Amino acid sequence: MPLHIETPLIPSRQLSEITGRSIWLKMDALQAPGSFKIRGIGHACTEYVSRGARRLVSSSGGNAGLAVAYAGRSMGVPVTVVVPHTTSERARELLRLENAEVIVHGAGWQEANELALSMVGPTDAFLHPFDDPLLWQGHATVIDEVARMGLIPDAVVLSVGGGGLLSGVAEGLHRNGWSHIPIIAVETHGAASFRAAATAGHAVQLDSINSVATSLGAKRVCDQAVEWAGKHTIHSILVSDKDAVDACERFLADHRVLVEPACGASLAVAYDNAPVLAPFKTVLVIVCGGATATVAQLRQWAQTL
């Protein structure tokens, strides 16, 4: 049995009314660890454990780490997550709730990741948050489910951090005979690593990340995402942090589900009826979710941005 669930695919009356299109939501916010990440991470963890891994190691204090912790607990395999001091108390608590060993080390992700990598022994598996073909294979199931349910979208809207979701959705579109369906790839202005790569034609390292959408905060996308940009129609769209946070608040009011600004970025494209949607009648939005935001934090961002 896979570690992810088949999520609901629901029409959004509110967003369809705003845009004058059929907007469909793939509700991956409802995955047990809070985001789509369990699709790919669950698949990768299952594979590594079947190959003999006896411990799972991650350096993500975000949704990838939560997915690894959930996968490990579900399979009865110990999990160690190394996170930097900047990781919120809420994220640490969620990791501990999944029985993961949490090691706090370093001022930033770089240092935490270095320690995590140095701890990986011969019977351990290291789980990268977005750059692993097993992850993309697992993420592709989100499109398998849409195809199985009989919805044929004219475009797919999704958020991009390191490009794992993008690579998985592109793989899913191709393996379902939908290689002609364009992807609308959304980032916030302060985390636009895919835009930089798509413009340059190769992955580019950003100097810094400056966005409340922390789950989009990869300074460099995986090479696979750049490769897809060369063979699949992908529209790169940037939104402001404010638009992403506003979309989270509106989505909470309309659909009663709390998501991170990382997911709000995609929702903002629909709430703003962005010009990129103009050619499309039926639009699928991947509601990627995210467990690290609270209502109080959203409110605070909404007031300060």
Ligand X SMILES: *Cc1c(COP(=O)(O)O)cnc(C)c1O
Which residues of this chain interact with ligand X, rule CB under 6 A? 35, 37, 62-63, 130, 159-166, 215-216, 218, 260, 262-263, 288-290
Q: Toward ligand X, which CB reaches closer, 146 or 222?
A: 222
CB of 164 to ligand X, least distance (A): 3
CB of 52 to ligand X, least distance (A): 26
**Torsions phi, psi of 7, nearest 5?**
-90, 155
CB of 216 to ligand X, least distance (A): 6
Q: Toward ligand X, which CB reaches closer, 106 or 164?
A: 164
Q: Toward ligand X, which CB reaches closer, 206 or 263?
A: 263
Cα-based torsion angle of the residue sequence 200, 203, 207, 212 in order, rounded to the nearest 10 degrees = 100
CB of 256 to ligand X, least distance (A): 18
Q: Toward ligand X, which CB reaches closer, 81 or 262?
A: 262
CB of 76 to ligand X, least distance (A): 25
CB of 45 to ligand X, least distance (A): 16
Q: Toward ligand X, which CB reaches closer, 24 or 130?
A: 130
Cα-based torsion angle of the residue sequence 5, 142, 152, 179 in order, rounded to the nearest 10 degrees = -160
Q: Toward ligand X, which CB reaches closer, 116 or 267?
A: 267
Q: Which residue has the tokens 């390292």?
A: 205
**Torsions phi, psi of 147, nearest 5?**
-65, -45
**Torsions phi, psi of 2, nearest 5?**
-70, 160
Whole-angstrom distance, CA of residue 155 vs CA of residue 262: 19
| Distance set, CA 280 to CA 156, 227, 275 (Å) | 10, 25, 10
The DSSP element (H or E) to which 257 belongs, if any, is: none
CB of 158 to ligand X, least distance (A): 8
Q: Which two tokens stand for residue 109?
A: 């992700």
**Torsions phi, psi of 173, nearest 5?**
-60, -45
| CB contact set of 225 (below 8 Å; sequence gap of 6+) | 160, 162, 163, 164, 166, 167, 194, 197, 203
Q: Toward ligand X, which CB reaches closer, 8 or 20?
A: 8
